[in-house]
Structure 1
Amino acid sequence: MSISANGKSLNTMTVPSQQLPVSYTPDVVVVGGGPTGIAAAMAAARNGADTLLIEQRGYLGGMGTAALVPAFCPYTDGEKPVIRGIGLDLLERMKQEAGADFLNRYKDRLDWVPIDVETLKRVYDDAVLASGAKLLFHTFADQVLLDGDRIQGLVISNKTGRSVVQAKLYIDATGDADLAALAGVPFQVGGEESELQPGTMCYVVTGADKSRFDRFIQETGQGGQLEKTIVEAQQNGDLPDGRKRISGIAWISDTVAGFNFGHIFGIDGSKAEDLTRAAVEGRRLIETQIRFLRKYVPGFENAHLVHSGDQIGIRETRRIAGDYTLVVDDFLSMRTFEDDIARNSYFIDIHLANATSTMTIKHLPKGQSHGVPYRCMLPQGKSNLIVAGRSVSSDRPVQGSLRVMPNCFAMGQAAGTAAAMLSVTGGGFRDIPIRELQSKLIEQGAWLGERPGQADGGVTVAAGHVTYDEENE
């Protein structure tokens, strides 16, 4: 027998039915251990729910650890932090545990703080376990068992074998809406022609000399993005055509720096074949970039590559069809919704789809933000599933703003809190009493704008930029 898929005829086989053991029966299961899933699991467990967090790798952190994104995007609107609660607490924990030198450099920063990857992995482990949530690493959810509009269970696969997880409530924190797609939720991918933002293979080098690099930047007057130097190298054939700036250099110490540099085009992060090609091409591009740094950039003559991403960094894949679709006019008008569960001030940041196109950038005024409504996390046709993170229901421009890690923490905290509440009262995610949810979020440190009972709390902020381009991730 054969079927047609992506225009190709494929042979098929019938897989025998199986009787699978039920391995876990939590109140809440979270799939995906990036910032969204971390915050969701912590919030659910802290609010009393028996919670299981499933992650495909052997550590937490998503793009910040697996893909080595060098720095956290802004937590502030330029005046005050808009991302607080669990996300802000975890940022501060990383700074505290990364050592005295790191803390001294970045203790007053909330925007573009470099990521110390190995410290952050440990911080995430400790925080999730301290919340009372259970962890299950090296595990995929590969099948959703449905009963009408409800998820009845997930089939998981790992070294132990295949089994079923049965929960009351399910949180899709995969970033790619994998769980929602398996459950048949409709979604959109990319732009009008299904074009997607490119991926970036990030990496970390040692052997650098920050003081020498800083002098070079000062002498050439070109800023940390090295535009003049990159154009020269492209003209000489030492770098490929494409973006004419480094997206970001994040200095972890005076000799260690993380790079977000260059693009791999035509990658769909929801396809293993594309991720495979991106891994091979990404490592080749890093080799080219290291040669460029040694030849053209003072301070990097002795740069040595110590770590490349376990996978390429992915900026967008699926966007679910939800109860409300957040659109660009909501962003530009800085709209507030009755069911806000977070605020967002990060700019619209859509990277070029090919080497000759341009980026789309749109900033909100300093000190301003827009609301993120609870309804954009509710997938059409499913009652006990919520989707949080970069794959929520939005148009493409807004996805280019919502997709960054601080926002994912905020959405995850809301999803986990809602799940914990419903694990006690029963019902699906549409049954949440929104005012009660908002009150709990505020009590637990989240910021939902200037609302009765929520003050700024006297938080001060240094919103400066580490040597890192604000038009970057």
Structure 2
Amino acid sequence: MSDVKHISLPAQEIPVSREVDVVVVGGGASGIGAAVAAASNGARTLLIEQRGFLGGMGTVSLVPAFCPFTDKEKPIIRGIGMELMERMKEACNADYRREYADTLDWVPIDPEALKRVYDDALLESGVEPLFHSFVYDVIKSGDGRSIEGIVVVNKTGRSAVRCSYVIDATGDADIAALAGVPFQKGGEQGELQPGSMCYLLANVDRGRFRRFLEESGDTGQLHRTVERAIAEGALPEGRKSISGLAWVNDYLVGVNFGHVFGIDGTKAEDLTRGAIEGRRLARRQLAFFQNYVPGFEQAHLVASGEQVGIRETRRIQGDYVLTAEDFMEARTFPDDIARNAYYIDIHMAHSKANMHFTHLKPGESHGVPYRVLLPLGIDNLWVPGRAASSDRAVQGSLRVMPNCFAMGQASGTAAALALRDGVGARGVEIGELQRVLLEQGAWLGEPAPSGSSARGI
């Protein structure tokens, strides 16, 4: 028996504030890709974001770099995602542009430049953004097979938005869950990958840090420095490598280091604890850098993430579940809408566990079929991003920003085609979807899937 108390609220009429073709919920990489694609292909598109800016983990949580856009031989994530990353480079200073002009993997993020780039991309494509807003509920059709609208809550009040199609780009499948879509969460015991509190350090000396690494003559020097700090009590047990130093310039570096355990990103209470613990951990890590790492003696913590970075929550049950076997065998599907080569990257659920990595060979990638975006039971909803339909291992690969851009672009393009043809998500003609994606810069492998007349069923 639950001891949760309940109250009943009186029935209320709420105004319809907007009527649009496509609602995109969530302004991270998948939501930006989806909204820009839908609007660029002719759909009246509204993007709803709970913060006052776009970018998701890359700006809200200060994840310091874009994960790879290549398979270590060629770019495989192209289209909207790559274009936006290149626009961010152009928005940075001359030194940054010179250093990273030809870089496509692990490109450092300048969060303020990126926010402005995303703003401009949405407005240029005709998307209507609505910030500082949450989706409170969904309005389903009488048969329960489609979403006819959503209920939005913000400082203005409560209102309904009527729409023909919805793209759930929340990263946590929030809209799908509200609509009753089945999902899985975490591992067999409910364990979740940890969160990370990322941050920016200023007043660092990159030249001195480089000399420290070069003079040691050993790429493992920084790893051993972390191990020594843990042994001496300067750092807590946990992650022993600093893999996430992203140099925006010679005196400013983004840091992804360490874990906050036991955080479920679908629970406000956990996010609250994660924020507090994450800031405390960042302060402890700052002292470690100042005392143990040459070049960081005068480092100053200028910003930490508004929210602890989240790697894993819900995974929807879709028309197809992408598996580790699909990943390892680099499979191609007739309904591919993207390719992925990022390694399986599962972080430990507690401080004494191990991290797991599984890589494809350089030049290899696997297909991401359209069906993983289609949640069971709902006909006009797509779920791109880290909540797409996959097993837990593949989620550890699909979850990164370049893949989210690609799945988002496919979802938004599909929504615009569905609108044009008056069909549901499963009625989109796959060959036409693939043709439009290719025309708009995406890469689906060589040769591209034929598509023929298959549909998304």
TM-score normalised by length of structure 2:
0.97
Partner of 1:438: 434
Aligned 8 A contact 1:384 1:428 in 2? yes
Q: Any residues of structure 2 matched to 1:392-411 within 5 Å, and which?
A: 392-411=388-407
1:159 shift after superposition = 0.3
- Of 292, 295, 305 in structure 2, the residue corresponding to residue 299 of structure 1 is 295
Partner of 1:216: 212
Matched, 1:193 2:189: yes
Q: Which amino acid aligns with 2:145?
A: D
Q: Identify the range of structure 1 (395-404 vs 15-24) with the bigger mean alpha-carbon deviation.
A: 15-24
Aligned 8 A contact 2:213 2:221 in 1? no
Partner of 1:231: 227
Aligned 8 A contact 2:335 2:449 in 1? no
Partner of 2:314: 318
Deviations 1:153-172 (A, max 9, x none): 10000000000011000000
1:225 shift after superposition = 7.7
Distance 1:248 1:24 in 2: 42
Q: Which amino acid aligns with 2:30?
A: T
Deviations 1:415-437 (A, max 9, x none): 00000111121121000000000
Partner of 2:238: 242
Q: Which amino acid aligns with 2:297?
A: E
Deviations 1:26-58 (A, max 9, x none): 100100000000010000000010000000000
Aligned 8 A contact 2:345 2:357 in 1? yes
Partner of 1:145: 139
- Cα gap change, 1:380/1:144 in structure 2, threshold over 3 Å: closer, same or farther? same
- Cα gap change, 1:453/1:155 in structure 2, threshold over 3 Å: closer, same or farther? closer
Partner of 1:175: 171
Q: Any residues of structure 2 matched to 1:259-278 within 5 Å, and which?
A: 259-278=255-274
Aligned 8 A contact 2:319 2:376 in 1? yes
Partner of 2:82: 88
Q: Structure 2: state its 5+ residue gaps.
A: 451-457
Partner of 1:159: 155
Aligned 8 A contact 2:33 2:412 in 1? yes
- Of 416, 424, 428 in structure 2, the residue corresponding to residue 428 of structure 1 is 424
Distance 1:374 1:401 in 2: 17
Partner of 1:13: 7
1:245 shift after superposition = 1.0
- Of 257, 265, 282 in structure 1, the residue corresponding to residue 278 of structure 2 is 282
Distance 1:225 1:161 in 2: 55
Aligned 8 A contact 1:65 1:117 in 2? yes
Deviations 1:208-258 (A, max 9, x none): 000000000112234388111111111111111111111310000100000
* Residue identity (%): 62
Q: Which amino acid aligns with 1:87?
A: G
Partner of 1:99: 93
Q: Secondary structure at the match of 1:319?
A: strand
Alignment coverage as a number of residue pairs: 448
Deviations 1:394-419 (A, max 9, x none): 00000000000000000000000000
Runs of 4+ in 1 over 4 A off after TM superposition: none
Q: Secondary structure at the match of 1:306?
A: strand
Q: Any residues of structure 2 matched to 1:329-340 within 5 Å, and which?
A: 329-340=325-336
Matched, 1:136 2:101: no
Distance 2:301 2:221 in 1: 20
- Of 44, 49, 73 in structure 2, the residue corresponding to residue 79 of structure 1 is 73
Partner of 2:379: 383
Aligned 8 A contact 1:52 1:136 in 2? yes
Aligned 8 A contact 1:225 1:246 in 2? no
Deviations 1:321-342 (A, max 9, x none): 0000000000000000000000
Deviations 1:300-358 (A, max 9, x none): 00000000000000001000000000000000000000000000000000001111110
Aligned 8 A contact 1:275 1:312 in 2? yes
- Cα gap change, 1:453/1:331 in structure 2, threshold over 3 Å: closer, same or farther? closer
Aligned 8 A contact 2:201 2:299 in 1? yes
Partner of 2:111: 117
Q: Secondary structure at the match of 1:26?
A: strand
Aligned 8 A contact 2:336 2:449 in 1? no
Q: Secondary structure at the match of 1:219?
A: helix
Distance 1:269 1:101 in 2: 37
TM-score normalised by length of structure 1:
0.93
Deviations 1:82-133 (A, max 9, x none): 0000000001000011111110010010000000000000000001110011
Partner of 1:467: none
1:142 shift after superposition = 1.1
Aligned 8 A contact 1:247 1:262 in 2? no
Partner of 1:41: 35
Distance 1:239 1:360 in 2: 22
Q: Structure 1: state its 5+ residue gaps.
A: 455-473
